[in-house]
Amino acid sequence: MTHSCRVSHQYFVKQIKMNMQYDGPTKLFINGEFVESKSGKRFKVIQPSTEKTICEVSEADLQDVNDAVDAAEEALSGKWKTMGATGRRDVLLRLADLWEKESEELAKLESFNNGSPINLSMYITKDLVNEWRYNAGWADKIEGRVVQSCKNDLHVYTRREPIGVCGMIVPWNLPLWCLVVKLAPCLAMGNTVVVKPSELTPLTALKLAEMFTRVGLPRGVYNVVPGYGPTAGAAIASHMRIRKVAFTGSTLIGRTVMEAAAKSNLKIVQLELGGKSPMVVFPDVDVEEAVKLSQFAVFNNNGQLCTAGSRTFVHSKIYDEFVQKASKAMSQHVVGDPMDPKNTLGPLINKVQLQKVNKYIQTGKQEGAKLLGGGDEYKGQGYFVNPTVFANVKPDMTIAKEEIFGPVQSIIKFDDEKTVIKLCNESEYGLAAAVLTNDIGTVFRLSSSLQAGTVWVNTYHETLAQGEFGGYKQSGIGREGGPSGVEGWTLCKTVIVKSKL
C-alpha cells in the first residue's frame, strides 16, 4: 500500500534464489526472550512459491498470551515509563537506523515468506524507515491544553496518557507494513504490546523482536505470540487486561474481533478491513497510461491488497479503446518466482486462496462477463494464478461486488458522473477510490462525493506516514498514520484543580 507505479521493476535488486534458507528465530518472544510455547506445539510455515516448508514455529495459545500480557503490564509501569518520552524517542530512532541498514534482508524475508514481488517488498521496507522516524518524533511532542474555567478558583488542564497494554492481530498480505503503522505510534505513546502475526507469515515479526533487543528496548514492551486466530487471536481480542486491540484483515473476522472486545472488557477497537475499491476513468486522460495504472491498482502484490482497485469504471466515450488496450497490456505482466525482480506477480498466499480466486474467475465467466485475458490455471509448482481481466462487467455481478483478493480486474462502462458516483458508493466497503482525469472541477466533485477513506487522483497505492489511512462503512474503524493515528494510541485525561480546600 505504499508503492508507486513509477518504480522500475529493476530498481532495487538482482535475482535472489527462491530456495534461500531461513535461520532466524522460531520461538515466541515474551519478556525479552525467545521461549517455547507452554503446550510445546509447533506449526509449519510454508513458502507459497514452492509449497515447501520453511521452518516450524512455536504455537501460542491462551497461556502464552497471559504470560505476554503479564510481561507487558510489568514493562508498562517499569522502565518503559521511567525512561520518559525522550527515552522512548531515542529507542525508536535507534531502531529506525538499524532498520535502514537491514531493510534489504527484511524485504527478502518478507517476500520469501509471503510471496510479494521482491521489488515491492524492497520499496515498502525501505519506506518504513520514515514510519519509525515520524512516529518517534511524536513521542515528546504530545501536549495537553489549558481549559478556561468559569470559576476563578479552578485550574483545568488535559493530558494525553498511554492506553496501556495493547494487542495487535496482523495479516499475511503485507505483514511488515501492517505491523509497523500500528506499532510505531503505539510504542511512541508509551504503550506496551502483544502481537499475533498471521500463522502464515510470522517470520518478520520475530525478526523485529531480535532487532529490538539490539537497540535497547526494555523487556516486555514488545511481545510476539504466533498462533492461530481461534486460539491466540481470540485470547487477545477477549483478554480482560488488554485495553486496545488493532486488527487488519477481513470484514468478517473484524466483526468477530469487535464482538469479543465488547463481550470482554469493552477494549478500544481499531479495524482496517476489506475493500472493493473503484477507479473512475474519465475520457480526457491518456488511455494507455490509464490502462497501466488501472492494472497496477489491482495486480500490485498479486492482487492481495485491501485497497486493490478491482472495479474499473470507464467512460463510454473511451470504453472500447480502453478494453482493447487493457487486453494488450496483459502481456506485460510476468508471473513467477517473487524473488526475481523481472517478475511482476508472485504466488497467492496458499492453496485455499488460490481456490477462492479461481472460483471467482469461473463465476465471472458463468455470469456473462467477457474474459479478455487470464482465467486459466497456472501450471507448475506454487500457488500462482495468472492475472485476469474481464470486460462487459455489470455492477450487480459477483466479481463486481465481492472482495476477491487476487489479480482479477472488472471493467465497467458508465455514461455520466452522477451515475458513476452512485455505483461507486453502493458498495458496503469504503477503503479507497481513485479518479483519473485532467479536469480540476471533476477532481473536486468526485473526491468530495466518493465514500472512501483515501481518494487517489491520477495515481494509486500512495501512502505516507504523515497522512491518515482507514476506511468508511464496513472497511474499518479508526485511522493509521498522521496526527489522528498517533492520538489514537492515547487517552485524554482532564485534571481539575481547586486553589484551596
Q: Which one-letter amino acid corresponds to residue 183?
A: L
Q: H or E element: which one contains 491?
A: strand 490-498
**Contact indicator for 329, 298 with CB cutoff of 8 Å:** no
The amino acid occupying position 329 is A
CA angle 44, 48, 291 (to 5 degrees): 150
**Interatomic CA distance for residues 5 and 300, integer angstroms:** 9
The three-state secondary structure class of 111 is helix
- CA 69 to centroid of chain Cα atoms: 24
What are the Cα distances from residue 275, in Å, to 68, 401, 453? 32, 10, 11
User: The cell 504523515 sits on which residue?
Assistant: 466
Q: How far is 485 from 334, CA to CA, in rounded Å? A: 37
Residue 215 CA to residue 204 CA, distance in Å, equals: 17
Output the CA angle 48-4-360, nearest 5 degrees: 45
User: Which residue's C-alpha cell is 534464489?
Assistant: 17
Among 272, 289, 468, 487, the active-site one is 272
Measuring CA to CA, how many Å separate 128 from each of 11, 188, 290? 17, 15, 28
Residue 331 DSSP one-character state: G
Please give the full DSSP string across 244-310, using - where no structure is assigned. EEEEES-HHHHHHHHHHHHHTT--EEEEE-----EEEE-TTS-HHHHHHHHHHHHHGGGG--TT---
272 noted as active-site residue: yes
- Helices 84-114 and 118-138: angle between axes, nearest 10 degrees: 170
Query: Do 432 and 456 contact (CB within 8 A), yes or no?
Result: yes
* Residue 211 backbone dihedrals phi, psi, to 5 degrees: -65, -40
Cα separation, 145 vs 487, in Å, equals 14
**3-state class (DSSP) for residue 164:** coil
SS3 352: helix
> Is residue 47 classed exposed, middle or buried when 0-12, 13-18 and 19+ CB atoms within 10 A define those classes?
buried
Catalogue the active-site residues.
272
